[in-house]
Amino acid sequence: MRRWTIVFLAVLLLVPFGCVRKKMRYQAEFLSLFDTVTTIVGYSESKQEFTALAEEIKAMLTEYHQLFDIYNNYEGIHNLKTINDNAGKAPVKVDGKLLSMLRFAKKQYYTTNGRMNIAFGSVLSIWHDYRVRGISAPEEAEVPPLELLKRAAEHTNIDNLLIDEKASTVFINDPEMRLDVGAIAKGYAVERVAEILEKRGISSLIISVGGNVRTIGGKPDKKEIVPWNIGIKNPDQESPHTELCSITVKDCSVVSSGSYERYYTVDGIRYHHIIDPRTLMPAVYVTNVTIVCRDSGLADALSTAVFNMPYEEGRAFIEKMDGVEALWVTKDGEIRYTDGFGKLLNGKINK
């Protein structure tokens, strides 16, 4: 579901580093995963070594992309589309990776009081279809009828998602319910890949999938390892500053949700893609939420959930969580953040 909301700073330069002076900065990009751009930045002793690692990361992410796809079938793979196609018909035996993601996502539904709901696919698919038509034919753009959305919302009960751990099966016990994991899939996949790399001793890498950023370790700087500089995109598209601010982080994730990336216009009003489960309309509370925490899957889920909350409610929710920091940009352009987020800021905030 998202969105180029995190950008890399130009200060990521080629830097020699003490006894590992030969390690240089390299970057790889590919476009085939999760309908967005994947960027890998890291330090290696040779281009060949880095390229091999980047290809391995791509292969791992490709597996998750195929498992979490709701639009396409893949030979020999039971994925989310398979589960949706069998809604109300029969349980589907799935790979453990998909089973674990669904279990994690279901947990986040309860953690966020339903503000992040992967069972919301029937509503999201309506908005998706109207948005696609509105972008391709702006003069014919329409807002989905509320009655149509309400009928679809009757089929979003996550308790109808039945996960059988012993049998490794998933069953949607409602023929009209559909899963959509756009609010969690990229972050979850990135976190699983990062865990594998960390266990292998990789210590200086960034993985960004559509702006879902996961840092591993820090970056070499002379004789020490320093935090990465990560830029937060400015939601004000009329501002001369493309970055709202930058933060310095090690071994954690930075994920933003915003109303400014994926939208269409009807009668001069923008309708973005983050839909409030309570109103069935695009959330209206803020224009940007950025979450910083260790787990990329959690950051992905929380950025959507908190975007669907009024600022006061979202702040109270975040401040009850250990190891999670957040920044908000309100509708009137005011910038607010948790105390811990403020400590990560690298320089001033631009408006």
Residues 102, 161 contacting (CB under 8 angstroms): yes
With cut-offs at 50, 70 and 90, classify the pLDDT of residue 107. very high
Rounded Cα gap, residues 248 and 206, in angstroms = 13
Give the pLDDT of residue 22. Answer: 63
Give the pLDDT of residue 18. Answer: 39
Q: Helix H segments across 78-179? A: 80-85, 96-111, 121-136, 146-153
Amino acid, res. 51: T
Q: Is 12's pLDDT higher than 70?
A: no
Domain at 80-172: CATH code:
1.10.3980.10
With cut-offs at 50, 70 and 90, classify the pLDDT of residue 217. very high
Q: What is the mean pLDDT of the chain?
A: 92
Q: What is the pLDDT of residues 327-342, one digit of tens each?
A: 999 998 899 999 999 9
Tokens of 143: 């807002």
Q: What is the pLDDT of residues 124-153, one digit of tens each?
A: 999 999 999 999 999 999 999 999 999 999
**Domain boundaries of the chain, sorted by first residue:** 6-68+184-344, 80-172
pTM of the complete model beyond 0.75:
yes
For residues 231-256, average pLDDT: 91
96-111 and 296-307 helices, crossing angle to 10°: 40
For residues 9-21, average pLDDT: 38
Residues 244, 350 contacting (CB under 8 angstroms): yes
Give the pLDDT of residue 20. Answer: 41
For residues 35-39, average pLDDT: 94
Rounded Cα gap, residues 47 and 49, in angstroms = 5
Name the β-bridge partners of 249.
228
6-68+184-344: in CATH 1.10.357.10: no
Q: Can you tell me which residue has the tokens 């266990």?
A: 199
